[in-house]
Amino acid sequence: MALLKTEELEPGMVLEREVVNLDGQILFASGATLNDRQISILKSWGVDRVQIEGGQSRDLPLDQQFSESVLEEAGRTVDFLFQHTDPKHPIIQDLRHICLKRKATKLQRHAEEPYDDDAS
C-alpha cells in the first residue's frame, strides 16, 4: 500500500481503497486502474492523496520523522480539532494525517530554536 499525492499518480496504478468526495459519493471504486482522464478528475475534485496498491509511500512514516513526545503533543491538538468527525472516513483520515504532520513540524521547529534568555 502506498499513499501518494495526486500529482505523483501515473496511468496504470491501481486504487487500493475507494475514493470518495466530501458528500461521501464514490468517485472511483477500490481496484480501479487509473488512466490519464481519471487522474485529471481526481485533481479537479481536489483529491490530495489516494491509496495505491503495492509499493511504499514516498513519505517516511511520522514516527520516523518526529520524536514520540512531539507526536503525542501534536496528536492531542489534532484529536481535539477532529473530535466531532468520523475517524473512519478516508478524507478525514487524510486531513488528520496532514494536520498531524504540520503540527509536529511546527512543534519540532519551535523546540529546535535557540532560547535567548536575554531577550526583552
CA distance 86 to 76: 17
Domain 2-52 has CATH 3.90.105.10: yes
How confident is the model at residue 116, as a pLDDT?
56
Top pLDDT among 22 and 56 is at 22
0.85 surpassed by pTM: no
C-alpha grid cell for residue 111? 523546540
Instruction: Identify the H or E element spanning 66.
Output: none
Top pLDDT among 3 and 89 is at 89
Outline where DSSP puts E strands in the chain.
Answer: 2-5, 19-20, 26-28, 49-52
How confident is the model at residue 118, as a pLDDT?
55
> For the chain, which residues make up each domain, given as ranges?
2-52, 62-112
User: pLDDT digit string (tens) for 1-24?
Assistant: 677 888 889 999 999 989 988 788
How confident is the model at residue 36, as a pLDDT?
95
How confident is the model at residue 39, as a pLDDT?
94
SS3 14: strand
How confident is the model at residue 34, as a pLDDT?
95
